Structure 1
Amino acid sequence: MRVEVVTAVHGAYARFLPDAWRSLRAQTHPDWHWLIQADGTAADVLGPLQDCGATTDSRVTLAVNGTREGPAVTRNIALGRASAPLIQNLDADDELEPTALRSLATALTAHPEAGFAVGPARDLLASGDLIEFPLSFPPGPIPRGALVDSWITEPHEYRLPIHPAGVMWRRELLLMAGGWTAIHNMEDTGLLMSASAMAPGIAIDTVTLRYRKHLAQRSTKTSSFEGGGEQITLIRNRAALLLAGPSWHPRYPQR
């Protein structure tokens, strides 16, 4: 089944694109396309893509915002360009394991009721060392709403049950959930919880993502933003309303 990989990138992260590209070139899944959306101008990101040869591959397309709009808006613009039944998020500074697309797409093919698929991730340190980020779920179906129930948001302890950066989505569910949410530093978490409240998922036991840890990450920056708790309340309230409604079901046959 065809997969489109969505990557939002701004100038400061463009230097990581060659590594992301090499991880895509190594994929064992035969049918994928990379939709890169520059949060800014083409000049901000084009150099590294040209240097690594990505711009000469017909599977790679670059589009630009022209302005800085942030990761949620930028991913959603890329989603608007997509037409494949399966959408894989790949942050510009991360890498996919070679079997990631094939393993996740195979799981979704085998489980047509699942709206998303996810595998374990590993943190990629500057030293090159990899640290496991295990799933909170065993391989197999993830019941509807289970991610919301397993999301730990206590002030002294915060933990997501799965790594949201490596999820493969059915495009239908992604559109019905509204894409990535307008939430500060929690764009993918907001989407993940809404989607889980709408549909079951599937977990696999194959590591799919290398999540790069580096000093330029927003999570490492000091911020004056004070609305974190309110955002969590908003996400949970929306998830509760979605859980009270009907479950999502795929409306169109997958090819």
Structure 2
Amino acid sequence: MVRSFPEMTSIVCSAILIDAKPRARPPSRNRPLVSAIIPVHNAARFIRDCLDSVFAQSGPFALDVIVVDDGSTDDSLAELRGYAGVRCIEQPNRGPAAARNAALRLAQGDYLAFLDSDDLWPDGKLARQIALLEAHPEIGLAFGDCRQFDAQGPYVKTLFESAGYDSAYWGDPVEVVAPYAKLISGNFITTGSVVMRRACVERVGEFDETLRLVEDLEYWFRVALACPMAHLDAVYLLRRRHPENTSRDPIAMTLAYLRMLDAHRQREADRVRPHAAALRSRMTREFQELGHLYSRQGAHGDAARAYLRALSGKVSLRSIYYLASALAARVGLTWGATT
């Protein structure tokens, strides 16, 4: 267990029940109910640390933990048989979107919080986010900063520090100004830092199960179109980096991002019309990046096709130069280097 985080001071463990029956929502209660939604796929090494960090949360709320085992082939389920209050759903492997949706259908919480099975919540995360949402009923989603860590310990800089997301960037001390436009420029929401109001989830709907990658970003796009968002500059997620989640093919990730953007544009055509130019510009940048990735692998034909797609979105001298370089490299000429 990694304990050297400034954001985490104590961990408390619990003890034995796996129960997937829906719970009736009380007609009235003094404390809000928070449903913690955790998809699991082959996370036997990490799930105990993850759940310990969830059960360490305390405050004026009740906690409902729903774990969805998404077709694990390791000992993840066996590791779950040690925690009171965990509701566990088993399903064939269908990806994180389907796993989260299965939990959403069971969740009875006034608030919904997400966490991946290899990550941790720092102490006090839920208490502070619930306090903000209780004080600001207009806010549909609250997120915070993220600190990554690996086997050597925590990273020095947080996500917000590395990306330059300061108070001026958000535009308001609490609410994110123009969240959709900002998300087009770059994703600043880590899934495990999110707490959502039930009314916002009901308005937005479920995660897109056709997406195996970047399904969370597509969901945040839809949230940004539907509900106000709040930022908290403290760290509300400790994200573990390990070989299983750092070895994803960057070409596959970029292709998945482009497919998601294209599907999102078509699905939300009316609502995103004011942002059409920004979306085209983002797709142009992503096709350029895809071309660079192919070029570095020597796949100059694929690179040329990617640069041509970039030109179809926005004609620029830079894209023309990249296309010419890839075509020249394909026939063995040295035109220039892509960066």
**Normalised by the shorter chain, which TM-score bucket?**
0.7 to 0.9
* More off after superposition, 193-202 vs 205-214: 205-214
In the alignment, the residues of structure 1 paired with residue 133 and residue 233 of structure 2 have an alpha-carbon distance, to the nearest angstrom, of 14
Larger Rg: 2
Matched, 1:26 2:56: yes
* More off after superposition, 168-177 vs 15-24: 168-177
Matched, 1:85 2:110: yes
Secondary structure at the residue paired with 1:208?
strand
Which of 81, 84, 102 aligns to 2:127? It is 102
Change (3 A) 1:111 1:128: same
Letter in 2 for 1:229: L
Say whether the 8 Å CA contact 2:147–2:154 is kept in structure 1: no
Structure with the largest fraction of strand: 1
| CA displacement at 1:174 relative to structure 2 | 1.5
**Percent of aligned pairs with the same amino acid:** 26
Partner of 2:175: 141
| CA displacement at 1:128 relative to structure 2 | 1.8
Deviation above 6 Å: which 4+ runs of structure 1? none
User: What is the TM-score when the length of structure 2 is the normalising length?
Assistant: 0.62
Q: How many correspondences in the alignment?
A: 230
Say whether the 8 Å CA contact 1:111–1:202 is kept in structure 2: no
Which of 231, 238, 246 aligns to 1:203? It is 231
Say whether the 8 Å CA contact 1:193–1:239 is kept in structure 2: no
Partner of 1:189: 217
Say whether the 8 Å CA contact 2:146–2:190 is kept in structure 1: yes
Partner of 1:241: 270
| CA displacement at 1:80 relative to structure 2 | 0.5
* More off after superposition, 93-102 vs 160-169: 160-169
Partner of 2:242: 214
Tell me: higher relative CO, structure 1 or 2? Use CA pairs within 8 A at least 6 residues apart: 1
In the alignment, the residues of structure 2 paired with residue 95 and residue 49 of structure 1 have an alpha-carbon distance, to the nearest angstrom, of 16
In the alignment, the residues of structure 2 paired with residue 114 and residue 244 of structure 1 have an alpha-carbon distance, to the nearest angstrom, of 24
* More off after superposition, 224-233 vs 81-90: 224-233
Secondary structure at the residue paired with 2:175?
strand
Say whether the 8 Å CA contact 1:36–1:60 is kept in structure 2: yes
For the aligned residue pairs, the C-alpha RMSD in angstroms reads 2.4
Letter in 1 for 2:49: D
Say whether the 8 Å CA contact 2:69–2:77 is kept in structure 1: no
| CA displacement at 1:176 relative to structure 2 | 2.3
Which of 161, 166, 171 aligns to 2:193? It is 166
| CA displacement at 1:213 relative to structure 2 | 1.1
Secondary structure at the residue paired with 2:217?
helix
Letter in 1 for 2:80: L
Secondary structure at the residue paired with 1:140?
coil
Change (3 A) 1:116 1:227: closer
Say whether the 8 Å CA contact 1:28–1:99 is kept in structure 2: yes
Say whether the 8 Å CA contact 2:203–2:226 is kept in structure 1: no
User: What is the TM-score when the length of structure 1 is the normalising length?
Assistant: 0.81
Letter in 1 for 2:243: L
Secondary structure at the residue paired with 1:165?
helix
Letter in 2 for 1:105: I
Partner of 2:13: none
Letter in 2 for 1:203: H
Change (3 A) 1:126 1:236: farther
Say whether the 8 Å CA contact 1:103–1:206 is kept in structure 2: no
Partner of 2:291: none
| CA displacement at 1:83 relative to structure 2 | 1.0
In the alignment, the residues of structure 2 paired with residue 73 and residue 28 of structure 1 have an alpha-carbon distance, to the nearest angstrom, of 29
